[in-house]
A and B are shown apart, each in its own frame.
Chain A
Amino acid sequence: MKISVDEEKCCGAGQCVVIAPEVFDQRDEDGIVVLLDSEPAPDRHEAVRESAGVCPAAAIHLGENA
């Protein structure tokens, strides 16, 4: 799994941070998503998939057999 995030789209909702805090964080200044781990270990894939599904801005993209 390879993750990318779109900072322009991100509305800083932090849903991803709640669901997968090891993979996503937020910038202090404006709450925009920070990708901590673009190729997370398999045990985190489910949480990442959930984050992408729930993200209100569709700002999380999953590539490679996600």
Chain B
Amino acid sequence: MSTAPRADTAATGTPAFPDPRSSACPFGVSPEMRALTDRGPVSRVTSWGGSTPWVVTSHTEQKTLLADPRLSAVFSHPGFPSPVDPEKAGRATADMSFVGMDDPEHSRLRRMVSGVFTVKRIEAMRPVVQKLTDDFIDTMLDGPRPVDLVQALALPIPSLVISELLGVPYEDHHFFQTNSRTIVSATAGAEARHTAHSDLAEYLDDLVGRKTSAPGDDLLSALAARITAGEITRREAAAMGVLLLLGGHETTANMISLGTLLLLEHPAQLATVRDTDDPKVVAAAVEELLRYLSIVHLGRRRTALEDIEIAGRTIRAGDGVILLGELANRDPRVFPDPDTLDITRDARPHLAFGAGTHHCVGQPLARMELQVIYPTLFRRIPTLRAAIEVEQVPFKYDAVIYGIHELPVTW
């Protein structure tokens, strides 16, 4: 079956992408994006510079396509759906390390770091994260009320953990947190984002250099050893450092603050998370929060390298493809009654961490941190509540990673 001619598609009015989450429900998906599902699992949108990439809305087709090597993640393909011109995107590809590469290069680099994130190694870190969480909550309880949960807990815990793993001095956290926030902001402007990225890359390059002469027991030191062995360049190592540092704290921090607020809005489910001593119940709740919130929104983006037949359509070689994880995670065929938060459902098939070869390398760590932090927080501060109305919460409508800028809480 062949696709409709492009002129036709344009004439019938393709919806515009991206569309930020609406104010209708800050925890939901934008109704305009939701409406795309009516056009079928695969349809076209009008996007950056008048391009008309495909958008994939359904869970099944997204999972299939994310595992399909005929889709490329390299930002510099001319058809890649991107607000940045291909030349600049080429620079971004190098800077974003393996996220912007295809196999086998992608796997070659990724497998240099993925051993740190095995389930067993991450489990071994659980007591460390528990202790950190308790310490930060002690400090919160000793301090003034209300306090911003983002700064008091959500941001520092994952930042500390990833700094420790990588061997980045935590004293520098203001520097790397500020730059990370700029990089994922959609309103900071291309120049500011690029500067933030360069500053962070330079910082990690310097750090990797220092690890070469004075190695420690951390991931950057392991990468430094690979530079010495001639397996990677210093630039590749620094780019991997940027990726892991950024991915390791910014995303988890947003999940902590958003998930906390969402549970505060659902007291019965919060009570279940707080009162259970069954780790399976907590784990299931975390999966449901990941599904429901889908913080990596606005699409995983690819370019087709060959023609791909899917759901009765033909995606042509060179076409851009946008896979909307937040829609897959609300696909009623996989998650019945998808707009209802239900921490007892089996939400594990969600695509919050993506799928296929680019599936989030740090997800075992993120999962473990969330499994520790939510129940500990609600157990230690049973009267925790937001100090402002939900309508006043500054949500990150402007960022590629969804979250909350600031969440004043009291108890």
Contact = CB atoms under 8 A, between A and B. Distances in A.
Nearest to A54: B348
Q: Which of B112, B119, B353, B361 has the most CB of A within 10 A?
A: B119
A14 B364 contact: yes
Given A13-B364, A14-B364, A15-B348, A29 B353 contact: no
A40 interface: no
B348 A12 contact: no
B118 A11 contact: no
Interface in A8-46: 8-9, 11-15, 17-18, 26-32
B120 A56 contact: no
Interface in B89-136: 107, 110-112, 114-115, 117-120
B394 interface: no
A66 interface: no
A12 B118 contact: yes
Contacts, number: 68
Sorting the interface of chain A by its residue count into under 10, 10 to 19, 20 to 34 or 35 or more gives 20 to 34
A57 B361 CA distance: 12
Interface residues of B, number: 26
B355 interface: yes
Interface string B228-263: 000000000000000000000000000000000000
A26 B118 contact: yes
Contact of B359 (A8, A27, A30, A56): A56
Interface string B336-377: 000000000000110101111111010110000000000000
B115 A57 contact: no
A24 to B, nearest CB: 10
Contacts of B357: 9, 11, 57
Interface of B: 63, 66-67, 107, 110-112, 114-115, 117-120, 348-349, 351, 353-359, 361, 363-364
Given A8-B107, A15-B348, 14 more contacts: A11-B356, A12-B114, A12-B117, A13-B353, A13-B363, A14-B119, A14-B364, A17-B120, A26-B120, A30-B115, A57-B355, A57-B357, A58-B67, A58-B356
10 contacts: A11-B114, A12-B114, A12-B118, A18-B119, A27-B118, A28-B118, A30-B111, A31-B117, A56-B67, A57-B357
